[in-house]
Chains A and B, each alone.
Chain A
């Protein structure tokens, strides 16, 4: 079955601490993986995708096919990073994303 699991509903860290938002997936084939973010009272937006191998707002994510994971990491969390983060996957070139339930990140001062 195709599935995205984000094991943490809530993750709370202090400003300046490293943060890792976990994402595991189940998919038969070669998926594309994404992270989306939704800040308070703002729209859902694409943060990054694994094929781009990019760093956005200091966040990176590496696809580990062996562990079927796509964890989102940032070495030094900022208060403005507080938001809901959703991991998602799709088949290549397909628009039907499968989303995880999301992790609420709270960065405390």
Chain B
């Protein structure tokens, strides 16, 4: 079947606007991860969902960032009042094990905040 998909593939927004990024994991995968990749910081962990457990939000950089996962499948990452430093590629990944290892990454959403 299809791999992890993300939408949109590119997003340009103005500083101060809110954005929503979507991730569709591989069907049946219980674990879902959000990371971001930027030139200055490399790959950074944001948040991790595992089944029905409370998500690990320890990587969210500020309270402007939030994420939810509905029905154990699709996830949405929301950034409120975007700042220029939020510009990055946002990557979603999923895995079917409970090992905590992201196995399959999506293509990413490239976010540019002007």
Given A95-B31, A95-B56, A96-B48: A90 touches B100 (CB 8 Å cut-off)? yes
B104 contacts across to A, CB distance below 8 A: 43, 45-46
**Once the chains are docked, how many angstroms separate the CA of A46 from the CA of B3?**
14
B107 and A97 contact, CB distance less than 8 A: no
Q: Report chain B residues within 8 Å CB of A95.
A: 31, 33, 45, 48, 50, 56, 100-102
In contact, B42 and A44 (Cβ under 8 angstroms): no
A81 to chain B, nearest CB (A): 19
Nearest CB on A from B56, distance (A): 6
How extensive is the interface on chain B, given as a class? Answer: 20 to 34
Give the nearest-CB partner of A32 in chain B: B101
The answer to whether B56 and A94 have CB atoms under 8 Å apart is: yes
Let me know if A98 is at the binding interface, CB within 8 A. Answer: yes
Interface centre among A44, A94, A99, A102 (most CB of B within 10 A): A44
A70 at the B interface (CB under 8 A): no
Which residues from B are CB-within-8-Å of A43?
A: 3, 104-108
CB-CB under 8 A from B50, the residues of chain A are: 95
> A58-97: which residues lie under 8 A (CB-CB) from chain B?
86, 88, 90, 92-97
Q: Are B105 and A34 in contact (CB under 8 A)?
A: no
B103 at the interface (CB under 8 A from A): yes
In whole angstroms, how far apart are the Cα atoms of A88 and B37 in the complex? 14
Q: How far is the CA of A96 from the CA of B103 in the complex (A)?
A: 13
Query: Does A101 lie within 8 Å of B58, measured CB to CB?
Result: no
A-B contact pairs, 7 of them (CB 8 A): A34-B101, A43-B104, A90-B100, A93-B98, A94-B48, A96-B59, A97-B45
Q: List the interface of chain B (C-beta within 8 A of A).
A: 3, 31, 33, 35, 42-45, 48, 50, 56, 58-59, 91, 93, 98-108
Please provide the 3 A-B residue pairs with the shortest distance between their CB atoms, ordered closest to farther: A95-B48, A99-B43, A95-B100
- List 20 extra interface pairs beyond A49-B101, A90-B100, CB under 8 A: A32-B100, A32-B101, A43-B108, A44-B43, A45-B104, A45-B105, A46-B102, A88-B43, A93-B98, A93-B99, A93-B100, A94-B48, A94-B56, A95-B33, A95-B45, A95-B100, A96-B48, A96-B56, A99-B42, A102-B43
